[in-house]
Chain A
Amino acid sequence: MATAHAVSTRRDLRFSGAWIPALIAGIAFLALPFGRPDRAFFTLDPAFRPWALGSLWVWLVLAFALLALIASLLPLRVTARGELLTVAGGLGLLSGVSWLMGTGTPFGMGALLSLIALVVVTGYGLSESGRIQSDAFVASSILFVSLFIILFILFPLFIVLRTAVFVDGSFTLNKVWSTLNSPLFIFAENPYTEQSELALMSRFAVIGTVLGALWALSRRLKFARFALTCGVAAAVGFFIGFMIYGRGALPTSLLVATIVATVSTLTGLVFALLGQRTRFGFVQRSLGAISLLPIITPPFILAFALIFMFGRRGIVTYQLFDISSNAIFGIVGVSLAQILAFTPIAYLVIRGSVASLDPALEEASQTLGADRWTLFRTVTWPLLRPGLANAFLLTVIESFADFGNPLILGGDRGYLATEVFSAFAARFDPNEAAVYGSVLLSMVLVIFFAQRWWLGRSSFVTVTGKPSSGSFAHLPRVMEGLLLSVFALWTLLVLMLYFSILYGSFVQLWGINNTLTLKNYRDFMTIGWPVFLYTARVAAVSAIPAAFLGFLIAYLVVRQRFFGRSFVEFGSMLSFATPGTVMGVAYILAFNVGPWLLTASSVIIAIAFVFRNMPVAIRGGVAGLAQIDPSLEEASTTLRASSSVTLRRILVPLLIIPLIGGLIFAFVRAMTAISQVIFLVSPGNMLATVLLLGWVEQGQLGRAAAMGSILIVSMLTVILLLMLLTRRRDAGVVGVGA
């Protein structure tokens, strides 16, 4: 080491690196138009150059950029300069944003670039002043992530809530009242029935009270608790009666959600138990494949196949059993379609808690002489309960949010998710749509927080489902037979439906003219293929930021301590929990006019995908980081690496598998998404699922089947490639909450 001071590791601190973004902010401000007249983003319209805007306010952006530039080049004390940069960057940002929001001018290239640069300046400031205890990269990342969450998650949702109570610019609760009072929402008393529905509901309340009282008596509760128990039981009873006898979107959605969640959870439990304790290996292996299905299938494809299997002229109902009924339209059909779609999700959640059961526990109780039933009742079941609760609540949320199945199979009833859509897209009543959206959102959030409060942090968002090793007791034979028949029935049904889609893509006219043909694929190639390619392109382009942003957020949340960390967690949780239709309305309301005009472009679709799929990548990143010793990063830091270098050279190589996994899942989920983006498609920005839904509705069934088959097969290929890459037997875990 002859060159002792060659390793001059101390960065020169006489000036700050913030001069580069400050300079960029200034140049962008002067060289590019700050606003734009309409949707065309890449305009050089001279009317929107800063000097043509006729506003002094907007020049504050330049003033603060210059202040930051000067500050970063002056030989100040590091912390003092940091404070100065923070103030200059922050105020510059604020003045730019406030000008845009105040005038309602859509942001232009100049605004975009200079504001981004000012965020970086602020990041330098926060880091140098020591307010964020890390380097400028982390500080800027924290700022960007927070701003993204505000702009693309909280702001649109806020607009929804505001639209619900602000009609024509003034505050009123009339719309909320009239919407919630509308028979579309709740229709309690059916005039066509002899008895009163409310009386029936009250009868349920009475039954509930009696049962509650009996239970309370058996527990010898004191009076106050006795009364409380009876009250709760009465409310639960009335609620059940309300779901059964009430009509309108609210009771219908509640009823379907309850049915679906119950059946899916139980079936999921059957699968999970079989997966771990069956004597038949092939059952375990096929479970791995089944867990993939919901991820690769556009959500409404099964609804579409169900009509052909179980409709009035359905292959099963009519040709096999000679039943002519269209009972499939309505609660039955929607529930069945949702059960088929969500059972694998419930399975993945429950599998996590089944896998975490310790075989030693069971062995211990077996040595104590417990037979298998006792064992199951006293040991296994209590351990399973949290997983079951998780699965139940997650399925409830999914059912509320589901949009495609009710649209196709809904029958004569309305559902909350479809009412959001028809209020906006059909009746064009944004206020009404916003009220519905707020109701749906608050129901989902209540469930979400109840779950967090009840089950603690081990929520379904963080389920990792690491399979544990160790040998498990086989199931009792009778029980195994029972479970296997459930599994066989389910598998048969699903295979039949998938096969019917594939078959339908090769016949002339499904159900009427069964001549084999390639015509549907020819039609698909001329009309569907460009849309498919476009969708794949947007999905791929959005998957990259979705994966990296998710990864970055995971890194910040897990490894950095900063003010607002729980805010970032909350925001990304919100984008996970919000039903797609609500987010769709939110985006169209928030980004159609004003400073953040983005609609009718690929950008808005890509942004929707990014923030919809980012939580999956966050979960992957969090799970991956948990397995990496933090001292690796600290070692890298003490070896002079900035956090961006550490991320690039240490964490990315070590976490490359979960990262690629996040990338591919973001892609696949984007390819099969519909509920949010159906609000956002515009001429030239058509997406495969939206086109597919149109074909289904318009009766272009052969083509729809062809598109469905191609989507499913190509997504399956992508997933299989991923599994090959990661050498994992199933990749379902990452897809929970698809």
Chain B
Amino acid sequence: MTSSPIRAAPVRLEDVTKLFSKEVVAVDQVDLTVEPGTLVTLLGPSGCGKTTTLRMIAGLERATSGRIFIDDEEVTRLPANLRDVTMVFQSYALFPHMNVFENVAYGLQVARQPKEAIRSQTLEALAMVGLEGLENRATNALSGGQQQRVALARALVMQPKVLLFDEPLSNLDAKLRKRVREDIRDLQKRLGITSVYVTHDQEEALAISDEIVVMNLGRIVQRGTPHELYSRPATRFVADFIGSASFLAGHYDGKAVTIGGFSFPHQQETPAGEVTVMIRPEAIRLSTDRAGLETTVRSSSYLGAVTDFVFSSPHGDIAATIPGEGLTPLLRDDTAYLTFRSAGIHLLPANDRHKNPDS
């Protein structure tokens, strides 16, 4: 496999819109570029249009307007079976009347490859996903993780220009999910294959992606590397959807942020004035000397390495994750003074009322 690099191809969507009916807009004027060889995740709550976007790239849905390019060639109206794109489905979609080998070999057989080539390529693909020796098994005799690997092998064996994943891990249990997603990422990097990955699980998205595209209500809200999205979310929706955060009303004067009476230094290119302050839980430290934002403890849960707190303040509740047990054991209704590390702080426009529908 490594001996035959797949020519990685870019994917480009220009102003793509999909209407399911006159009222139902599934995807709304989406522009998107996926660089060759990268893995881009479409992330968002259910109904945000991410799966529809993926299916339009696959050709399983047709865009109502706009244009789609794969490898700089327009494919907007090209049927799915003529695009060099394969897909891994949420339900695995293994053919129940075929065994493992037949499933993986299916695409090659449809393409009328010589028998020998089919055999060697199929076995190679199975080896690649770690399923050597299972080729004669019935698919329903495999575990969920193995079934998903068969689906992956079946998609890879076609050496597609683009590989698509539609929530491939959502049917697996938590532990397995972590392992399979690492395997997927490894393979994708090793093969350098352009991939588009759809999930609603932000942790999965953060772990696997070169780049994340956050979608909501059919539109792209923000795109960037996992780090960018986490540390500099453009909207409260993104901040809330990726990781967790507390939002307090505050004032920014160009150098420092003031919440209530408490000020702390922060640098960000944003106009001075009223702002919404996003605070990541891990950015919060307990002050030992009353220098900090005065709050009371609403609740605390001891989790071993860290303790989760919720503090309440006149400006809003604040969730915090604090390593160790803290200097003083804090009880409910105790007063606590909080300070913030600049790395976990991001300022949003004060009027961003955009709520995450899931929260």
Across-interface contacts of A11 in B (CB, < 8 A): 82
Across-interface contacts of B110 in A (CB, < 8 A): 636, 639-641, 645, 649
Instruction: Give Cα A679 to B122, complex, Å.
Output: 59
Stretch at the interface among A263-271, A411-419, A523-531, A626-634: A626-634
B358 CB, min distance to chain A CBs, angstroms = 25
With A10-B84, A637-B80, A642-B81 in contact, is A631–B107 under 8 Å at CB?
no
In B122-180, the 8 Å CB interface with A consists of 124-125, 151, 154-155, 157-159, 164
Instruction: Give Cα A642 to B107, complex, Å.
Output: 11
Across-interface contacts of A512 in B (CB, < 8 A): none
- Encode A651-664 as 1/0 by CB contact (under 8 A) with B: 00110000000000
Across-interface contacts of A654 in B (CB, < 8 A): 96-97
B119 CB, min distance to chain A CBs, angstroms = 12
- Encode A121-143 as 1/0 by CB contact (under 8 A) with B: 00000010110011100000000
Across-interface contacts of B85 in A (CB, < 8 A): 638
Contact A640 B4 (CB under 8 A): no
Instruction: Give Cα A7 to B105, complex, Å.
Output: 12
With A631-B89, A636-B106, A650-B95 in contact, is A1–B81 under 8 Å at CB?
no
Contact A79 B87 (CB under 8 A): no
The interface residues of chain B, by DSSP majority, are classed as loop
B7 CB, min distance to chain A CBs, angstroms = 8
Across-interface contacts of B108 in A (CB, < 8 A): 7
Contact A10 B82 (CB under 8 A): yes
The contact of B1 among A1, A134, A631, A632, by CB within 8 Å, is A1
In B70-119, the 8 Å CB interface with A consists of 77-87, 89-91, 93-97, 106-108, 110-111, 113, 117
Across-interface contacts of B91 in A (CB, < 8 A): 629, 631
With A2-B3, A2-B4, A629-B91 in contact, is A638–B60 under 8 Å at CB?
yes
Across-interface contacts of A642 in B (CB, < 8 A): 81
Contact B117 A6 (CB under 8 A): yes
B269 CB, min distance to chain A CBs, angstroms = 44
- Encode B1-39 as 1/0 by CB contact (under 8 A) with A: 101111000000000000000000000000000000000
Instruction: Give Cα A312 to B81, complex, Å.
Output: 71
Across-interface contacts of B93 in A (CB, < 8 A): 629, 631-632, 634-635
A14 CB, min distance to chain B CBs, angstroms = 13
Contact A637 B81 (CB under 8 A): yes
Contact A638 B87 (CB under 8 A): yes
At the interface, yes or no: A9 with Cβ under 8 Å from chain B?
Answer: yes
Across-interface contacts of B81 in A (CB, < 8 A): 135, 637-643
The contact of B111 among A1, A4, A7, by CB within 8 Å, is A7
Across-interface contacts of A641 in B (CB, < 8 A): 81, 106-107, 110
Contact A639 B89 (CB under 8 A): no
Nearest-CB residue, chain B, relative to A3: B117
Among B79, B110, B113, B121: residue with most chain A CB under 10 A:
B79
Across-interface contacts of B346 in A (CB, < 8 A): none
At the interface, yes or no: B62 with Cβ under 8 Å from chain A?
Answer: yes
How many residues belonging to B are interface residues under a CB distance threshold of 8 Å?
45
Across-interface contacts of B60 in A (CB, < 8 A): 634, 637-638
At the interface, yes or no: A478 with Cβ under 8 Å from chain B?
Answer: no
B113 CB, min distance to chain A CBs, angstroms = 7
The contact of A1 among B95, B106, B124, B164, by CB within 8 Å, is B124
B349 CB, min distance to chain A CBs, angstroms = 41
B58 CB, min distance to chain A CBs, angstroms = 6
Instruction: Give Cα A1 to B107, complex, Å.
Output: 14
Across-interface contacts of A1 in B (CB, < 8 A): 1, 3-4, 121, 124-125, 157, 159
Across-interface contacts of A40 in B (CB, < 8 A): none
A310 CB, min distance to chain B CBs, angstroms = 54
Contact B158 A7 (CB under 8 A): yes
Across-interface contacts of B94 in A (CB, < 8 A): 635
Among B58, B83, B95, B151: residue with most chain A CB under 10 A:
B95
Instruction: Give Cα A650 to B107, complex, Å.
Output: 12
Instruction: Give Cα A482 to B124, complex, Å.
Output: 70
In A67-105, the 8 Å CB interface with B consists of 78-79
Instruction: Give Cα A135 to B77, complex, Å.
Output: 11
Across-interface contacts of B5 in A (CB, < 8 A): 4
Across-interface contacts of A6 in B (CB, < 8 A): 113, 117
Nearest-CB residue, chain B, relative to A8: B111
Instruction: Give Cα A64 to B158, complex, Å.
Output: 39
Nearest-CB residue, chain A, relative to B104: A639
At the interface, yes or no: A13 with Cβ under 8 Å from chain B?
Answer: yes
Across-interface contacts of A645 in B (CB, < 8 A): 110
Across-interface contacts of B83 in A (CB, < 8 A): 638
Contact A79 B111 (CB under 8 A): no
Instruction: Give Cα A639 to B84, complex, Å.
Output: 9
Nearest-CB residue, chain B, relative to A136: B79
Across-interface contacts of A632 in B (CB, < 8 A): 93, 95-96
Nearest-CB residue, chain A, relative to B89: A631
List A residues at the B interface (Cβ < 8 Å).
1-4, 6-7, 9-11, 13, 78-79, 127, 129-130, 133-135, 629, 631-632, 634-643, 645, 649-650, 653-654
List B residues at the A interface (Cβ < 8 Å).
1, 3-6, 58-60, 62, 77-87, 89-91, 93-97, 106-108, 110-111, 113, 117, 121, 124-125, 151, 154-155, 157-159, 164
- 17 cross-chain CB contacts under 8 A: A1-B4, A6-B117, A7-B159, A631-B91, A634-B60, A635-B95, A636-B106, A637-B80, A638-B85, A639-B86, A639-B107, A640-B81, A641-B110, A642-B81, A643-B81, A645-B110, A649-B110
- Could you list 4 further interchain pairs (A-B, Cβ under 8 angstroms) beyond the known A6-B113, A639-B155? A632-B96, A635-B89, A636-B106, A638-B164
- A-B residue pairs, 5 tightest by C-beta: A639-B107, A130-B77, A635-B93, A4-B4, A631-B93
